[in-house]
Amino acid sequence: MITRDSFAKEYDRFAKALTRRVKAYLRDPNAENVHRLRTATRRLQAAFALLPKATRNQNNAQKAMARIKKLMKVNASVRDQDIILSKLSMNKHPTHERLIENMRKSRKSHLDQAKQLALSVQKDPGPRLKSRDLSDSVLQRRYNKVVRNLSSKITSELPLVREDPSKVEELHVVRRDCKQLRYILEMSEFSRPPKPLVTLRSWQDLLGTIRDHDVMIEYLQGLKRSTELQVALNIEIENRNKNYRKFVEVSRENPVSRFAAKP
C-alpha cells in the first residue's frame, strides 16, 4: 500500500538527495560520485512516474525530466569508462597502462559534457510536491498501474534472456526495468520486504555484475588483439558466463509475475 503522506515524504527525500549528489559530483566527479548520482536520478525518475498526470505533463516538469534523462545518458558513458578503468587497473601490464591513459582522456571529454548537464539539473531539479496535492486513491491507482506494467514487461522479457546469453542489450533492458520496479516497490509501506522486492534486489546485483562484464567485453573486442588482451578477454567472458548461469538459476522462479497483468 502507498499513501500520499509517505509518498510525498519519499519524493522530497529523493529530490533533496539529487541536489546533494549533483553538488558532490560537480565538486569531485570520481567513480563513486558518478554512481551515486546515477542512483539518485533513477530514484527520482521512478517517483516522478507516480505523480498525477496533470503534474507529469506540466511543461516545467517535462523539461526538468528531459534534462535529467540527458544527464543520465551522458553519465552512463562515464560510468562505463569507470568500469573499464577499474578492470584495466587490476593488471599493471604496459599494454593496460597505455589503454588507461587513453581511457582517462575519453572520460574527461564525456565528463565535460556531463558537468554542463549537471549544472542545468542543479538549477532546476524538478517539481516540488506536497501531500495535499495528492489523492490516496489516485496515487494508489497510478502505483498499481505502473507496477502492473513493469511486472508484465519483465515477465515477458525474462524467457528470452534466460534462453539466449547473447541477448546483451535485452538483458540490459531487463536490468533497467527491474531497477525501476524495485525503486517503486520500495516506496510502498510494509512491515517486512515482500518476496518480489527481495528477489529484485538479488537479481539487480547479478545483472549489474553481468552488465560490467558486457561493457568490458565490448571494449576489449574493439581493440587490436594481442596475447595479453586475448587472455583478458577470455577471463572476462568466462566470468560473465558464470554469472549469467547464476542469474538463469535464481530467476527460475519469478515472484514478480504475480503483479503482472493477466493475459
Residue range 123-136, pLDDT digits in tens: 887 778 778 878 88
CB 75 within 8 A of CB 114: yes
pLDDT grade, residue 262 (50/70/90)?
low
CATH code linked to domain 135-257: 1.20.120
Query: What CA–CA distances, in Å, run from 16 to 10, 20, 112, 225?
Result: 10, 6, 24, 46
Residue range 199-219, pLDDT digits in tens: 999 999 999 999 999 999 999
pLDDT at position 128 is 80
Q: How many other C-beta atoms lie within 10 A of the C-beta of residue 109?
A: 12
CA dist., res. 163 & res. 107, Å (int): 35
pLDDT at position 263 is 54
CA dist., res. 133 & res. 66, Å (int): 23
pTM confidence score: 0.90
Which residue from 38, 6, 41 is spatially nearest to 186, judged by alpha carbons? Answer: 6
CA dist., res. 233 & res. 225, Å (int): 10
